[in-house]
Amino acid sequence: MTRRKSTGPRPANTPAKNAPRGKSRNQSPAGELRIIGGDWRSRKLRFPDAGGVRPTPARTRETLFNWLSFHLAGRDCLDLFSGSGALGLEALSRGAAQATLIDNNPALAKALRDNLRLLGSDSGTVICSEVDSYLSQRNRQPFDIIFMDPPFRQGWLTTLFPLLDSQGWVKPGGWVYVEHESEIHAPDAPANWQLHRQKTAGQVTYCLYRVAQAAGRSE
Residue 82 in any domain: the answer is: yes
pLDDT in tens, 29-61: 458 999 999 999 999 999 988 766 777 889 999
Does 17 reside within a domain? no
- Could you read off the pLDDT of 70-114 as tens digits, one per residue? 999 999 999 999 999 999 999 999 999 999 999 999 999 999 999
* Domain presence at residue 41: yes
**Which of 11-25, 73-87, 112-126, 166-180 shows the lowest mean pLDDT across its residues?**
11-25
| Residue 12 included in any domain | no
Helix (H) or strand (E) holding 93: helix 86-93
Q: Is residue 216 part of a domain?
A: no
What is the CATH classification number for the domain harbouring 139? Answer: 3.40.50.150
- 147 occurs within a structural domain: yes
Residue 98, domain extent = 2-6+25-211
Question: What global pTM score does this model have?
Answer: 0.84
**3-state class of 10 per DSSP?**
coil
196/96 Cα distance (integer angstroms):
20
Kindly list the distances between the CA atom of residue 106 and the CA atoms of 48, 53, 131, 179, in Å, as whole numbers in the listed order: 10, 14, 13, 23
Residue 218: inside a domain, yes or no? Answer: no
Number of domains in the chain: 1
Whether residue 11 is contained in a domain is answered as no
